[in-house]
């Protein structure tokens, strides 16, 4: 075996490598500081993080749409457009979360370097997950990012409910890792010892029922991460208990990177009709339960949790089509949807963060009269909610259009119809914050502290991105299509 690492292999891990180094620098830069300056904004941490993330994004950008390098590190990973898009979503999310961290953490007297560093480590692991092409590297990347997210979820360690949420997340997450590993073992056994996706696709173990069970178990493992019904029960509790910023990070980055990995895996292995039916059932119940349960939430974070479950359901529709073999090109809507979802959700969580700064409140009624007191934040959240509801002129609409178009053209009319009906239900609860912000008067008893600049910046950029992708989505659609085509070859 050749031990010399090639240039392509270095380039492939460069972005993730930059992030790991950035995280370390952040940790060291905060060493020796006294413990009680956790109230200051610590701009240097955000600066280091921002610089590192921009550098990593630049490293991604330099590669651009360059052709896939084929398998690297003996089949453990690859460097292709699909992976770069996944890494791109994750790193941009990390950038915004880092920018928002300073003001948010300082206001809760918890500003420590760990938070920034964990986001960088986590983002690095996610970038690798999006590029992973064998089972082992998928598992290692998932475990790495999960460990970081467990800590982020319980970051406010003085807060009992946060600790409880983090513990719940940890136990269930560990449990799901077990499923994932067991599934991998089944596949390893039935395909004559193959671990790389392409070997699995080429092997003749596909017909084996144990192979199907293995794929199913992997699917279950991922279902925990993406919060699909019936493996969703941790989502609302953890979302409600965790620091708002960590929730935004989980909602976007964990979901996006898991979907990129799952999509790549399923594009290789397919799965057949039974698996497609199971996946379709998961999609349907996720859409239904997510949207119905969201109807009754007073807490914005819980509402976003259930809405996230519903969006997982929508995102599973293209995967159903891919798995059933009706049209692998339907997978192209996944990168697009995740980009749109990231911009939209970050704008929403930016506003929720701004409201919960210093007060830790996130009730829908806390938004009362926001259009008067903070018109800018109100417009940002309104755009985000409209986009989540899939109403035109927003990225969310184009994303839904792509998914439904895929479903209609592959003959999955029932799935499309359910998606439409549940979207209608979702309009009701997405409008509730809009009603509070625009139609009600501000309550004098509850004063908002000024929003930190990082939050304002994030909301502005993400809301503008949501609208401009909604009006000019062509480039992103092409990029998404191209990325899936490179995998299909």
Please choose, out of 14-22, 132-140, 236-244, 422-430, the segment that lies near another protein by the rule CB under 8 A.
422-430
For the segment 379-408, give every residue that binds another protein (CB under 8 A).
Answer: 386, 391-393, 398, 401-402, 404-405, 408
Q: Residue 420 interacts with another protein (CB under 8 A)?
A: yes
Q: Find the shortest distance in angstroms from Cβ 344 to another protein.
A: 16
Q: Between 23 and 313, whose beta carbon lies closer to another protein?
A: 313
d(CA 343, CA 341): 6
Q: Residue 453 interacts with another protein (CB under 8 A)?
A: no
Q: Residue 424 interacts with another protein (CB under 8 A)?
A: yes
For the segment 455-474, give every residue that binds another protein (CB under 8 A).
Answer: 472-474
Q: Find the shortest distance in angstroms from Cβ 425 to another protein.
A: 10
Which of 468, 464, 236, 473 has the alpha carbon at shortest distance from 350? 464
Q: Find the shortest distance in angstroms from Cβ 428 to another protein.
A: 7
Q: Residue 477 interacts with another protein (CB under 8 A)?
A: yes
Q: Residue 376 interacts with another protein (CB under 8 A)?
A: no
Q: Find the shortest distance in angstroms from Cβ 386 to another protein.
A: 7
Q: Between 240 and 483, whose beta carbon lies closer to another protein?
A: 483
Instruction: Give the DSSP letter of residue 133.
Output: -
d(CA 43, CA 452): 12
Please choose, out of 21-29, 210-218, 286-294, 419-427, the segment that lies near another protein by the rule CB under 8 A.
419-427
Q: Between 204 and 478, whose beta carbon lies closer to another protein?
A: 478
Q: Between 127 and 416, whose beta carbon lies closer to another protein?
A: 416
Q: Residue 377 interacts with another protein (CB under 8 A)?
A: no
- Residue 271, sorted as left (phi over 0), alpha (psi -120 to 50) or beta, turns out to be left
Among 185, 364, 427, 460, binds another protein (CB under 8 A): 427
Q: How many residues does the chain have?
A: 489
* Structure-token pair, residue 339: 């980009």
Q: Between 271 and 473, whose beta carbon lies closer to another protein?
A: 473
d(CA 296, CA 299): 9
Among 5, 435, 449, 488, binds another protein (CB under 8 A): 435
Backbone angles phi, psi at 78, to 5 degrees: -140, 170
Q: Between 254 and 404, whose beta carbon lies closer to another protein?
A: 404
* Structure-token pair, residue 240: 């409600």
Q: Find the shortest distance in angstroms from Cβ 137 to another protein.
A: 32
Q: Find the shortest distance in angstroms from Cβ 6 to another protein.
A: 34
d(CA 489, CA 329): 11
Among 22, 93, 423, 466, binds another protein (CB under 8 A): 423
Q: Between 116 and 430, whose beta carbon lies closer to another protein?
A: 430
Q: Between 245 and 320, whose beta carbon lies closer to another protein?
A: 320
Which spans in 229-299 are helix H?
234-241, 244-249, 255-269, 273-294
Residue-by-residue DSSP string for 279-321: HHHHHHHHHHHHHHHHTT--BHHHHHHHHHHHHHHHHHHHHHH
Q: Report whether 309 contacts 289 (CB < 8 A).
A: yes
Q: Residue 433 interacts with another protein (CB under 8 A)?
A: no
Which of 206, 207, 256, 227 has the alpha carbon at shortest distance from 92? 256
Q: Between 57 and 416, whose beta carbon lies closer to another protein?
A: 416
Instruction: Give the DSSP letter of residue 72.
Output: E
d(CA 71, CA 8): 10
Q: Between 226 and 402, whose beta carbon lies closer to another protein?
A: 402
Among 58, 62, 74, 413, binds another protein (CB under 8 A): 413
Please choose, out of 95-103, 136-144, 346-354, 433-441, the segment that lies near another protein by the rule CB under 8 A.
433-441
Q: Find the shortest distance in angstroms from Cβ 338 to another protein.
A: 17
Q: Report whether 475 contacts 373 (CB < 8 A).
A: no
Q: Between 209 and 414, whose beta carbon lies closer to another protein?
A: 414
The count of residues interacting with another protein (CB under 8 A) is 31
Instruction: Please name every residue paired with 134 in a beta bridge, in sequence order, or none if there are none.
Output: 196
d(CA 259, CA 223): 10
Instruction: Please name every residue paired with 71 in a beta bridge, in sequence order, or none if there are none.
Output: 78
* Structure-token pair, residue 415: 């799935």
* Structure-token pair, residue 155: 């970051």
Q: Residue 481 interacts with another protein (CB under 8 A)?
A: yes
Which of 288, 145, 178, 309 has the alpha carbon at shortest distance from 238? 309
Q: Report whether 105 contacts 111 (CB < 8 A).
A: yes
Q: Find the shortest distance in angstroms from Cβ 407 to another protein.
A: 8
DSSP element (H, E) containing 74: none
Q: Residue 61 interacts with another protein (CB under 8 A)?
A: no
Residues in contact with 479: Cβ distance below 8 Å, sequence separation at least 6, in sequence order: 65, 81, 85, 335
Instruction: Please name every residue paired with 299 in a beta bridge, in sequence order, or none if there are none.
Output: 363
Q: Residue 409 interacts with another protein (CB under 8 A)?
A: yes
CA 44 to chain centre: 26
Chain positions contacting another protein, by CB under 8 A = 371, 386, 391-393, 398, 401-402, 404-405, 408-409, 413, 416-417, 420-421, 423-424, 427-428, 431, 435, 438-439, 472-474, 477-478, 481
């Amino acid at each position: 075996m050749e031990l010399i690492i090639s240039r392509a292999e270095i380039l492939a891990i460069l972005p993730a490598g930059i992030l790991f180094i950035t995280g370390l620098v952040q940790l060291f830069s905060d060493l020796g500081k006294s413990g009680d300056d956790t109230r200051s904004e610590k701009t240097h941490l955000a600066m280091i993080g921002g610089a590192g993330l921009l550098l990593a994004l630049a490293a991604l950008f330099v590669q651009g749409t360059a052709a896939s390098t084929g398998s690297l590190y003996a089949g453990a990973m690859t460097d292709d457009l699909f992976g770069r898009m996944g890494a791109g979503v994750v790193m941009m999310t990390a950038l915004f979360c880092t920018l928002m961290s300073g003001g948010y953490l300082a206001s809760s007297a918890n500003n420590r370097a760990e938070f920034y560093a964990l986001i960088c480590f986590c983002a690095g692991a996610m970038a690798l997950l999006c590029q992973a092409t064998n089972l082992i590297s998928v598992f290692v990347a998932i475990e790495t990012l999960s460990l970081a997210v467990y800590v982020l979820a319980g970051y406010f360690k003085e807060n009992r409910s946060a600790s409880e949420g983090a513990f719940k997340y940890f136990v269930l997450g560990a449990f799901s890792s077990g499923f994932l590993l067991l599934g991998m073992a089944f596949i390893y056994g039935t395909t004559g010892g193959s671990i790389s996706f392409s070997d699995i696709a080429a092997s003749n173990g596909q017909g084996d029922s144990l192979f199907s069970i293995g794929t199913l178990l992997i699917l279950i493992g991922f279902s925990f991460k993406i919060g699909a019904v019936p493996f969703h029960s941790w989502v609302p509790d953890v979302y409600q208990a965790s620091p708002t910023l960590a929730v935004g990070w989980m909602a976007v980055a964990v979901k996006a990177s898991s979907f990129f990995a799952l999509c790549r895996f399923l594009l290789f292995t397919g799965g057949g009709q039974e698996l497609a039916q199971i996946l379709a059932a998961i999609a349907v119940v996720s859409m239904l339960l997510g949207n119905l349960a969201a109807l009754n939430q007073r807490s914005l974070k819980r509402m976003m949790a259930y809405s996230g479950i519903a969006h997982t359901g929508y995102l599973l529709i293209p995967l159903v089509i891919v798995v059933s073999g009706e049209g692998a090109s339907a997978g192209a809507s996944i990168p697009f949807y995740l980009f749109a979802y990231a911009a939209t959700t970050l704008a929403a969580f930016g506003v929720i963060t701004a409201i919960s700064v210093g007060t830790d409140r996130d009730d829908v009624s806390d938004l009362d009269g926001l259009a008067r007191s903070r018109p800018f934040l109100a417009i940002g959240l309104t755009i985000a909610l409209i986009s989540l509801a899939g109403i035109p002129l927003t990225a969310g609409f184009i994303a839904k259009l792509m998914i439904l178009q895929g479903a209609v053209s592959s003959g999955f009319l029932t799935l499309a119809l359910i998606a439409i009906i549940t979207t209608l239900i979702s309009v009701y609860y997405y409008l509730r914050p809009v009603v509070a912000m625009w139609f009600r008067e501000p309550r004098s008893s509850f004063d908002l502290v000024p929003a930190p600049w990082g939050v304002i910046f994030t909301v502005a950029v993400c809301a503008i991105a949501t609208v401009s992708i909604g009006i000019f989505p062509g480039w992103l659609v092409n990029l998404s299509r191209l990325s899936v085509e490179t995998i299909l070859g």
